[in-house]
């Protein structure tokens, strides 16, 4: 099965989280992403897992 990659705006729309927050978390290494040139791409399943891990480790009061 091939993993579908989302660009930043597509992912933001899909999961209803601001693109600016996703970008900041990805740059901090808290959300996995792939850089192709200057553009960020995300594996949906990996992002879901990372968000769940963030929520369980820090509660709901994240940056």
Query: Does residue 28 lie in a domain region?
Result: yes
Statement: the pTM of the whole predicted model exceeds 0.85: no
Q: What is the pLDDT of residue 28?
A: 95
Total domain count, the chain:
1
Query: Does residue 54 lie in a domain region?
Result: yes
4 three-class SS? coil
Dihedral sign, Cα of residue 63, residue 12, residue 35, residue 39: negative
* Interhelix angle 19-27/8-15, nearest 10 degrees: 120
| Domain that includes residue 37, residue range | 5-58
Residue-by-residue DSSP string for 29-47 = TSS--EEETTEEEEEHHHH
**How many residues belong to the chain?**
63
Grouped pLDDT means (10 residues each) for the chain, 63 residues: 88 96 95 94 95 82 52
């Amino acid at each position: 099965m091939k993993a579908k990659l989302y660009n930043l705006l597509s992912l933001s729309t899909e999961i209803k989280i601001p693109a600016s927050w996703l970008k900041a978390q990805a740059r901090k290494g808290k959300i996995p992403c792939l850089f192709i040139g200057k553009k960020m791409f995300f594996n949906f399943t990996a992002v879901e897992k990372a968000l769940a891990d963030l929520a369980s480790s820090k509660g709901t009061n994240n940056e």
